[in-house]
Structures are given as structure tokens and as C-alpha cells.
């Protein structure tokens, strides 16, 4: 290999390594803001350290609020038509994938490792936040191997082991120590790369897509501004007393509203009031939060401006952008579900479990609340078209009622109505 090629290869490796490190730092920051408990480190550099002897740093968690609100694919879960065996294997799949969706929207690109729990006899889905990929020569978007760190338990004080790494490809599963030495190595029993890769948005010219940086930046700005406001209130809320024309060692007696302060001849005493307009600052913060929400197809309502409850149609109109994005998200996760099922079949086969080839998934979607009038109109339309029955309406209102019980109640109610009509008819004669 020529010197030029060697230098170029080294430069590329260094560039990729630095990019990987930067991505890990970014993801760590995103996770800290979502967790909400370790964000002081990101804003303390904007302040004099002495300031925090007076007030604590402000920490708002709008990140979790926004991310959870954005992630609606698995709000009510999904129905998968496979087999009874599969239903047993995937009891906790919806809750796991709900977390996967949220973390994907947070960090941008996520790897989820599929495994089999032999004790509980069910699939498990483990999100991997920090990972590096090796790609096929002819396809820079198709990973052929995954490397990720085995994070130690920081809650266990006895765990002093150095960081190890796991390596997966279609043939081999290996564990490496921090020096690159093989700790263990075995054949990949699945014959496939058991990772599902999910992305917040469509990939362009890079495998990894950007995470929720606008939300994180907004959250950080809110924390900085609110901390500044707290410092301002701490030092300036009641004004700053000052005196001129006195010596530094001259004692001035402090008094209340009923006490006269004696000053030396030629001296002056006053109180400097803060010039800041807190209401304007708060309005700016609200504007920034609302703008970020709109950029993510959401709306936020502050308590003083909260509207009265809206009808279902009004809510649909207000949430139209988010509804369109939700449809796109469902289509993406429909593809992800099929990709994950191929991995699940390979894992099941390796554990002596047979699953069919056919896989269908239907995502359950929450309905917008309707007014009484809207619900009556919808029920009448569905009854007229044979979409639902009167029994369905009764069972919707009483979840514990069976169809036979609903039919019996309808017959009883109809008999009562008939008796009333007959009585009125007799009275009118």
C-alpha cells in the first residue's frame, strides 16, 4: 500500500472514530435530558460557580413530555395475527416497542437486540443506544456487523470491571475487553444479525439520522433562562439598597418602615429596583416552546390560555399535521414489525420453536373524544349501515356486559317502551 493510501485510510479511521465519540456524547446528553436528573452539567458553564450557592439550577423536563407525546404508534398497542404460541412469546412486546419508539424519536437511530428468555420462555427486546456498525461493501446503508459497549451497573458499587464490548455478525458472537482481547467467542446460533434498526425519519445520505436536538436545545435554553430568573429574583426582588457619601467602615443602622435612618452630612441612601421585565422573558420562553412543538407537529397550551374542551372534529382539525405524521410513523413501524418478525422466527427456530411465515399486524389507534351529539350521529349512521349493533353500543358503555346480557336488556327495554305506548293509547281513547 502506498504512503498516500495509508495516510488516507488513517485519516478516515480517525474521522470515523471522532464522529462515533461525538455521537455517543450527544446521545448521552439526550438520555440525560429525557431522564431529567443529570442536566446541571450542561448549563453550569454559563454561570459563575458562586451563583449556585444562592439558588439551585433550574431543571425542567419538557423533553420527556414532548418525546412521549410524539410517540403514538404503540399508545394502544398492536394486534398481530400469527399463532397462539407467538402470542405467548410476545406478551410484553407492545410495552417494549413503545419504549423503542420513544427512544428512536429521542436519539434519532436506535438498535434493538432481539433475544430469547429461556426462563420466562418469551422474546426480549433490548434497546442499544451506543453502537458502531460495519457495512457491506456494496451497500453503505446495510449493516453486516454491530459493536456495542456492555455498560456496567453504576448502582452496584462492587462492580469495578472495565468496559467490555459485544460484537455480532451473522456467523459470530464475541465479547472483547477494553484492550481488544477476545473474552469469549461463539457461533451465532440465529444465522442472522438479530438487531432491528429504527429511525426517527427517513435516512438521506447517512445511516444515522439526527435525534431530537431542537427539543434538547429548547429544554437547555429554558433551564438557563429560568436559572437566570431565579438568580434575579434572589438578588433583586426587593431592590438593592445603596448608600453614597459614607466611608466603608461607617455603620448604617438598618430599620423598618417606622424607623428613621441617620446618615452623615452629605450622604445619600436609596434602593435600586430591577429593570428586568419577567413577563416578557416568560412570553419569550412560551414562544420558543410553542415553536419547537409546532416543528414537531404538536401544540402546547399554557394554563392561562387553555381553551374549553373541544369536540372531536375540532381536535382533528387542530391536530391534523400530527395526524398526518402519525400515519407516516405507522407505515414505518409496519415495515419494522415485519423486519423484527424475521428476526423472531430465526431466534425461535434456534430454540426449537416453529413460527409460520405469514405475519399481519394492525395498529390500534386512539379515537378523539366526541360530544354527545357527535356520538349520537355516529352511532345512528353505523346502526343504519349495519356497521355496529345496539348490543355493541351497550357493551361499549358497560365493558363487563356480555352480548347475551346486552340482548336481554334490549328486549326488556323494548317491552317497557311498548307497555308505555299501550298505556298512552288507552288513555287517549
* Average pLDDT over all residues of the chain: 82
Q: What's the pLDDT band for 15 if we cut at 50, 70, 90? A: low
Distances (CA, A) of 143 to 105, 106, 131, 139: 21, 21, 12, 8
Give the list of residues 6+ apart from residue 379 with CB closer than 8 angstroms, or none.
388, 393
Provide the pLDDT for residue 99. Answer: 97
More confident residue, 83 or 140: 83
Dist CA 232 CA 226 (whole Å): 10
pLDDT of amino acid 91: 92
pLDDT at 157 (0 to 100): 46
Asked if 194 and 115 touch (Cβ cutoff 8 Å), the reply is: yes
Strands (E), 151-281: 164-169, 172-176, 182-187, 195-199, 240-244, 268-272
Q: How far apart are CA 252 and CA 134, in angstroms?
A: 74
> Strand, helix or coil at 81?
strand
What's the pLDDT score for residue 304? 55
d(CA 339, CA 336): 5
**Is 60 within 8 Å of 225 (Cβ atoms)?**
no
Kind plus residue range of the DSSP H or E element containing 26:
helix 3-35
Q: Is the pLDDT of residue 336 over 80?
A: yes
Q: What is the pLDDT of residue 6?
A: 60
Q: Where are the domains of the chain?
A: 370-429
Per-residue pLDDT, averaged over 141-158, amounts to 73
Are the C-beta atoms of residues 114 and 168 closer than 8 Å to each other?
Answer: no
Mean pLDDT score, 326-343 = 95
Closest CA to 104 of 146, 72, 134, 57: 72
> Exposed/middle/buried for 347, CB within 10 Å: 0-12, 13-18, 19+?
buried
| DSSP designation for 126 | E
Band of residue 192 on the pLDDT scale cut at 50, 70, 90? very high
User: Per DSSP, what are the bridge partners of residue 169?
Assistant: 145
Run of H or E including 303: none
Condensed to tens digits (0 to 9), the pLDDT of residues 363-397 reads 987 765 666 676 777 778 788 878 888 888 888 77
Residue 424's pLDDT is what?
A: 64
Say whether 387 sits in a helix, a strand or coil: coil
Per-residue pLDDT at 154: 47
Q: What is the pLDDT of residue 40?
A: 86
For 148, phi and psi rounded to 5 degrees? -145, 155
The region of weakest confidence among 93-102, 197-206, 329-338, 370-379 is 370-379
Confidence of residue 239 (pLDDT cuts 50, 70, 90): low
Contact present, 130 and 150 (Cβ < 8 Å): no
> Looking at 121-130, 195-204, 230-239, which range is the least confident one?
230-239
Q: What tens digit of pLDDT does each residue of 26-59 get?
A: 999 999 999 988 888 898 888 877 666 777 788 8
Print burial letters for 77-110: b (CB count within 10 Å at least 16), e (below 16).
Answer: ebebebeeebeebbeebbebbbebbbbbbbbbbb
Predicted confidence band of residue 235 (pLDDT cuts 50, 70, 90): low
Summarize pLDDT for 261-306 with one digit per residue, the tens: 666 666 776 666 666 577 888 898 999 999 999 899 888 877 655 5
Whether the Cβ atoms of residue 338 and residue 360 lie closer than 8 Å to each other? no
Pairing type for strands 139-150 and 164-169 reads antiparallel
From CA 87, how far away is CA 94, in angstroms rounded? Answer: 11
Q: Is the pTM value of this prediction over 0.85?
A: no
Cα–Cα distances (Å) from 41 to 23, 28, 87, 128, 347, in that order, read 18, 12, 44, 24, 42
Give pLDDT tens digits for 397-417: 787 888 888 888 888 877 765
What gap in Å lies between CA 421 and CA 424, rounded to an integer?
A: 5
How far, in Å, CA of 361 to CA of 78, rounded?
A: 7
Amino acid at each position: 500500500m502506498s504512503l498516500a493510501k495509508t495516510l488516507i485510510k488513517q485519516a478516515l479511521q480517525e474521522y470515523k472514530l471522532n464522529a462515533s465519540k461525538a455521537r455517543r456524547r450527544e446521545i448521552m446528553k439526550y438520555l440525560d435530558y429525557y431522564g431529567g436528573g443529570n442536566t446541571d452539567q450542561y448549563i453550569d458553564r454559563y454561570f459563575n460557580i458562586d451563583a449556585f450557592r444562592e439558588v439551585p439550577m433550574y431543571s425542567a423536563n419538557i423533553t420527556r413530555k414532548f418525546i412521549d407525546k410524539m410517540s403514538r404508534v404503540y399508545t394502544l398497542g398492536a394486534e398481530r395475527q400469527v399463532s397462539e404460541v407467538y402470542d405467548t412469546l410476545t406478551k410484553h412486546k407492545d410495552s417494549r416497542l413503545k419504549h423503542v419508539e420513544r427512544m428512536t424519536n429521542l436519539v434519532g437511530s436506535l438498535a434493538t437486540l432481539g433475544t430469547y428468555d429461556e426462563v420466562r420462555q418469551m422474546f426480549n427486546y433490548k434497546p442499544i443506544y451506543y453502537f458502531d456498525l460495519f457495512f457491506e461493501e456494496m451497500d453503505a446503508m446495510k449493516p453486516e456487523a454491530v459493536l456495542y459497549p456492555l455498560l456496567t451497573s453504576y448502582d452496584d458499587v462492587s462492580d469495578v470491571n472495565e468496559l467490555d464490548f459485544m460484537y455480532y455478525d451473522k456467523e459470530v458472537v464475541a465479547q472483547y475487553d477494553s484492550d481488544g482481547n477476545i473474552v469469549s467467542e461463539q457461533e451465532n446460533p440465529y444465522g442472522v444479525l438479530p438487531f432491528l434498526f429504527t429511525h426517527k425519519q427517513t435516512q438521506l445520505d447517512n445511516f444515522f439520522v439526527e435525534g431530537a436536538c431542537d427539543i434538547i436545545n429548547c429544554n437547555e435554553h429554558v433551564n438557563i433562562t429560568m436559572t437566570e430568573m431565579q438568580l434575579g429574583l434572589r438578588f433583586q426582588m426587593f431592590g438593592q439598597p445603596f448608600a453614597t457619601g459614607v466611608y466603608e467602615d461607617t455603620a448604617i443602622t438598618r430599620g423598618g418602615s417606622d424607623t428613621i435612618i441617620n446618615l452623615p452630612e452629605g450622604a445619600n441612601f436609596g434602593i435600586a429596583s430591577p429593570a428586568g421585565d419577567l413577563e416578557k422573558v416568560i412570553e419569550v420562553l412560551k414562544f420558543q416552546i410553542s415553536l419547537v412543538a409546532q416543528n414537531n407537529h404538536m401544540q402546547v397550551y399554557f394554563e392561562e390560555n387553555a381553551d374549553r374542551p373541544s369536540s372531536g372534529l375540532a381536535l382533528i382539525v387542530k391536530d391534523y399535521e400530527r395526524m398526518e405524521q402519525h400515519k407516516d410513523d405507522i407505515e414505518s413501524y409496519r415495515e419494522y414489525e415485519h423486519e423484527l418478525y424475521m428476526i423472531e422466527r430465526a431466534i425461535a427456530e434456534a430454540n426449537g420453536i416453529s413460527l409460520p411465515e405469514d405475519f399481519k399486524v394492525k395498529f390500534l389507534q386512539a379515537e378523539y373524544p366526541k360530544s354527545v351529539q357527535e356520538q349520537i350521529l355516529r352511532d345512528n349512521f353505523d346502526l343504519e349501515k349495519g356497521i355496529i349493533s345496539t348490543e355493541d353500543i351497550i357493551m361499549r358503555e358497560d365493558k363487563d356486559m356480555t352480548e347475551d346480557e346486552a340482548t336481554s336488556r334490549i328486549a326488556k327495554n323494548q317491552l317497557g317502551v311498548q307497555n308505555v305506548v299501550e298505556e298512552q293509547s288507552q288513555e287517549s281513547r
